[in-house]
Amino acid sequence: MRDINKASLLLDFAIKEGLSIAPLEMDVTNDLEINSIIKNIVDESGRIDVLVNNAGYGLIGYFEDLQMEEIRKQFETNFFGVLRVTQKIIPIMRNQKYGTIVNISSGAGRVGFPGISAYVSTKFALEGFTESLYYELQPLGIKVIIIEPGVTKTNFFRNSIYGQRAKSSESTYSKSLAKISNNIDIMHQHATNPQEVAGVFLEAIRLKEPNLRYIVGNDIAMILESKNELSDSEFRRMMMQNINQN
């Protein structure tokens, strides 16, 4: 965890469920912390069987309003954080001739959405990286999986960050961003339960030959189905109609 002081809820849940969990503090943008944590785990357990890259946050704002430093920070956590940790884990799994790497992407890694262009970009990058990694590591006995949830009932949106300029009422996009924020609140009420995402994840890592991608959530499943069935112009027209109507 980036902030170990937030571990109490997780530990309380683990006790109720009879699970043995040992939270450790690690920032995926800090190489020294990554090296230290991996060494501690290997020294204690002798191996690492599963890596789940789930660290990430949302950056909200239309692209024109976002500052480059805000976008870089978004990529440092959501994308380069995955690369840092994964690159240090691969040699361990390669020597074991076994392991599973799970990258938590998003439906936003397959479809663009307004107001979260920076976040979408990190997930599109993650999709390409993970697919390439699959071909590199499959011959070594290392499984690579992408989980693509839709909107999920977590604190993700509550913990998302607005770009500094995006918060200004003088922004050209302020009304559009307010509409998107309202839509997110509505979608969150009908969002996928996180237990469903966890269930798909557990099923996938237990399979001898899992799929590369797992879509979770009716919302994103319907959007991707439409994207596959419609022409590009028809799909864009549908998306614009939905955005403008909501």
Encode burial over 92-111: b for 16+ CB neighbours within 10 A, e otherwise: bbeeeeebbbbbbbbbbbbb
Backbone angles phi, psi at 170, to 5 degrees: -85, -5
Catalytic residue among 57, 98, 119, 214: 119
Return the closest-CA partner of residue 103 out of 133, 74, 75. 133
Cα distance between residue 141 and residue 219, in whole Å: 34
Indicate the residue type of 204.
A
In the residue annotation, 134 being an active-site residue is answered as no
Q: What residues have CB less than 8 Å from 32, skipping those under 6 apart?
A: none
Cα distance between residue 63 and residue 156, in whole Å: 20
Point out the residues that are catalytic.
119
